[in-house]
Structure 1
Amino acid sequence: MNSDQGESRIRLALEAIAELSAGLSANQATQAEMDQTLASLWQAIEATSQHVATVRAIGFKMQLIALNSRIKAAHLGEEGRVLESISGAIYAISLAARDQTERLAGSIASLELEPAASSEIPRTELDLETTSRRLLTIEAELEPALETIRAKSAGFGEGFERIRDLLQLAAAMPPAITAERDALKALLDGLEAPVGSADLSELSERYTMQSERAVHAQQDAQPSAAAFDDELGLNVELF
């Protein structure tokens, strides 16, 4: 083997080593990018899981408020029908929201790593492909589910405001009823005054006297307007 052939083989080997080194560097860069992507992926899953847990907790609190309102409505009886209707609707909506979040929480939990493997992010192409595919499936379910929850939750504030107003109205109802009853009693007391009261008796007597004078006046002469002119004025004639 001459020197030229030896140099050629060395050069080819060096080129192969350079290509291999470049490939390893590219592979390391790809691996680092993959690790970073997966780390971001698990952070997103954790954040989504916390968000779902928060929504689920809110749904549970809404159930408690609705239940308490329904109990209050039952105690109010007939006056609590509107409160019962609103609280019942909120209770049903909160159940639907919790069902959505329970299902999402289960889907997210299926992606979470086991405690023993939590420190090892899957690094094979198969693991990445499987995880990505499952994540896309959950993402496709997550957006409409959260939109449904947002849409259903939009009426919660208004519903709770109405419940609060109704509870305040219910609390103020007994004094209001008492006041109306007292006012009605006072009105009825006035209407129940005896017809033969002093004022009416006196007015009737004086009107009778005026009529008698008018009869006598007609017998003697045409009555003048002054004959009816006393402190009663036209009220006597109108009476």
Structure 2
Amino acid sequence: MDKGIETIVFPFASWGESLALMTEKLQQLSGSTEGEFLSIGARLQDYYFRAGSIDRLASDVTAQVSGEEVQGAIEHLVTLLDKMQNYLVDSEREAGLDCESLGNVLRLLEQVVEPLSGFSTINKVLRMLGMSTKIESARLGNSAAGFDTIAADVANLSVQVLEKSQTILTQQSSLCDTIRKTLEGVEKTEAEQIQRVQGILDKTRASLASLKEINSNCSVIASVVASASSEISKGMSEVVTSMQFHDIVRQQIEHVETALAELHHRVTSCGSEEMDLAVEMTDICELQAAQLRQAGDEISDAVRSIIDNLCKVSDKESNTASKTREMAGVADRAGSSFFSDMADDLKKIAAVFASNAEANKSITRAMTSVAGTVGEIVTYVGDIEHIGEEIELIAMNAQIKAARTGAEGAALGVLAEATQRLSVEAQEQTGNVSRTLLAVTETTESLFHDVGEEAENLENEIDSIVNELDSVLNSLRLLNENIIEKVQSLEGEVLALSCDIESTTSSISVHELMASGLSDVLGALNAIVAEAAALIPIDLAKGKTARLQELATRYTMHSERKVHAGFAGAEGFDTFSGSGSEESDDNVELF
């Protein structure tokens, strides 16, 4: 110190004690916050992984809702409903044809009544001719021998014709009643079944339309949830990355701590009149105060930024949870009861179609009965035809005998000729009945074959459709239950993460603790600077560049350089900037 300068005594001892307390305070502050920062970092890391898991689950739900498996099952169900609709149309058409065929059979059988009724008239005339023949035979006496026997034979045969024709009429009437009842039952059953099945099919199609709408809505919501979850996951990644600020601030505080510790060592071993040291100490304390202010501001801003970002993430998670609940509600509209109701309706259709198959079988049975009875009628008609031939033969014999009798047998010849004409008429009648019955037989045989084959084919087809329906509905039900389960799981994870984040943000106070501790140290530094400034002459408070160069070489972060440059001036940075080693450059954090 120059002799011309007045001797100034500096309170280095007091300053040394203060520097020691500040160094200790910074050590405690660094240590006390380290554990809390590590705890926050661990929780953020956990939230980051959970956000990623939610993102993957949301994407999985989106893929499943709009995936090929669900869409394929729905389209398969639509195809099966179309098959059932076609089956219904075919069944209605076939039933109409069957009823038309039965109506034709009924009309043909009704045509048999008229020729069969004619046998009653023929019988009456034959009986009258037989009685006349007996009378005439009795009048002629021995010359008309044998005519009474002929008359008896004709009378007997006429009775047989009547009996057989009456039997045929009875069977015809029974057949007509059977066909009418079958027609009535089939037409009524078909009308009711078609109306019922169509109603169920329409209801099922409406359910399918609802299912498609549900699936579409779920897909849209799931996409929104997946997109939000992806944004949240990215946001959490940025928050976790921002935790690096703690290492930066910690290094900055450690550098301040080292500088103050070195300064403490120097001031405790110096004389109380060392002006240069006092000036240097003032500059160092003022620079370290600037570094601590910058570190305090940085940590406060960073932590507040983390809290704000976490709050935003929490809000997004709450919105996501709301959307997820909405999706769960939408998906639940297609819950188990939805598919159970649809399955029950389709089982009703299957039951109706089974009843329809039974109706077809009833037609088959009716046709079997018709065919059997018609076969019996044909036999009776053949008997009548044979009887007519016998009557014709008897009449021809009678004519021959009457001719032999001469003029006296002329009346018997007329009677015999009339009997022959009736026998020919009876044969014509039986021919008409036979032709009608042949048409009945052909129609019943054709209907019997068609209905039987159709019933078997339709029964096989509906069994196949019903089995496919059970399989598709079961697949859709399982897929939907899986989606609902995942949606509920997603909602639970989203809500849990949101609650945990809210709990974390409300409990973060490390920045306040850090700010309070740094404020104490800054107060002590400012006090030393103020005391020293009051003692140091103004003209000596210069030359910061030379005194602070050594500190500048220790910086590892751009933020420290920036503070130093702002304090020492641009020229105070030249030496460091131009001569920094490659190793020190590698350690620089651009924060």
The alpha carbon displacement at 1:90 in A equals 1.4
Q: In 2, are the aligned partners of 1:111 and 1:131 still within 8 Å (CA)?
A: no
- Which of 375, 396, 404 matches 1:154? 396
Residue 68 of structure 1 corresponds to 139
1:135 paired with 2:367, answer no
Flag the 1:56–1:127 CA change in 2: closer, same or farther, 3 A.
farther
Q: In 1, are the aligned partners of 2:134 and 2:147 still within 8 Å (CA)?
A: yes
Q: In 1, are the aligned partners of 2:133 and 2:148 still within 8 Å (CA)?
A: yes
Q: Give the Cα separation in 2 of the matches to 1:59 and 1:139.
A: 23
Would you tell me which structure has more helix in proportion to its own residues?
2
The alpha carbon displacement at 1:97 in A equals 1.3
Structure 1 residue ranges without an equivalent (≥5): 71-83, 169-239
Residue 17 of structure 1 corresponds to 88
The alpha carbon displacement at 1:167 in A equals 8.2
Letter in 1 for 2:125: T
Larger radius of gyration: 2
Letter in 1 for 2:385: E
Q: Give the Cα separation in 2 of the matches to 1:49 and 1:118.
A: 20
1:33 paired with 2:90, answer no
Secondary structure (helix, strand or coil) at the match of 2:169 reads coil
Secondary structure (helix, strand or coil) at the match of 1:41 reads helix
Secondary structure (helix, strand or coil) at the match of 1:19 reads helix
Residue 45 of structure 1 corresponds to 116
Q: In 1, are the aligned partners of 2:164 and 2:380 still within 8 Å (CA)?
A: yes
Structure 2 residue ranges without an equivalent (≥5): 1-69, 180-365, 411-591
Q: Give the Cα separation in 1 of the matches to 2:129 and 2:178.
A: 34
The alpha carbon displacement at 1:93 in A equals 0.9
1:122 paired with 2:178, answer yes
The alpha carbon displacement at 1:35 in A equals 0.4
Q: In 1, are the aligned partners of 2:134 and 2:151 still within 8 Å (CA)?
A: yes
- Which of 54, 76, 85 matches 1:5? 76
Q: In 1, are the aligned partners of 2:130 and 2:151 still within 8 Å (CA)?
A: yes
Q: Give the Cα separation in 1 of the matches to 2:115 and 2:86.
A: 43
Q: Give the Cα separation in 1 of the matches to 2:388 and 2:152.
A: 14
The alpha carbon displacement at 1:165 in A equals 2.0
Q: Give the Cα separation in 1 of the matches to 2:409 and 2:88.
A: 82
Q: Give the Cα separation in 2 of the matches to 1:101 and 1:10.
A: 64
For 1:57-76, what per-residue CA distance to the aligned partner results, in whole angstroms no more than 9, with x for missing partners? Answer: 32222122212322xxxxxx
Letter in 2 for 1:108: S
Tell me: higher relative CO, structure 1 or 2? Use CA pairs within 8 A at least 6 residues apart. Answer: 2
Flag the 1:148–1:126 CA change in 2: closer, same or farther, 3 A.
same
Q: In 2, are the aligned partners of 1:38 and 1:121 still within 8 Å (CA)?
A: no
Flag the 1:32–1:143 CA change in 2: closer, same or farther, 3 A.
same
Q: Give the Cα separation in 1 of the matches to 2:409 and 2:94.
A: 73
Q: Give the Cα separation in 2 of the matches to 1:120 and 1:58.
A: 35
Question: How many residues end up aligned between the 2 structures?
Answer: 152
What does residue range 151-190 of structure 1 map to in structure 2 within 5 Å?
Answer: 151-157=393-399, 159-160=401-402, 165-166=407-408
1:112 paired with 2:169, answer yes
Q: Give the Cα separation in 1 of the matches to 2:390 and 2:409.
A: 29
Q: In 2, are the aligned partners of 1:35 and 1:121 still within 8 Å (CA)?
A: no
TM-score, length basis structure 2: 0.23
Letter in 2 for 1:97: V
Q: In 2, are the aligned partners of 1:56 and 1:98 still within 8 Å (CA)?
A: yes
- Which of 125, 128, 149 matches 1:92? 149
TM-score, length basis structure 1: 0.53
Q: Give the Cα separation in 1 of the matches to 2:175 and 2:101.
A: 20
Identity %: 9
Q: Give the Cα separation in 1 of the matches to 2:394 and 2:76.
A: 80
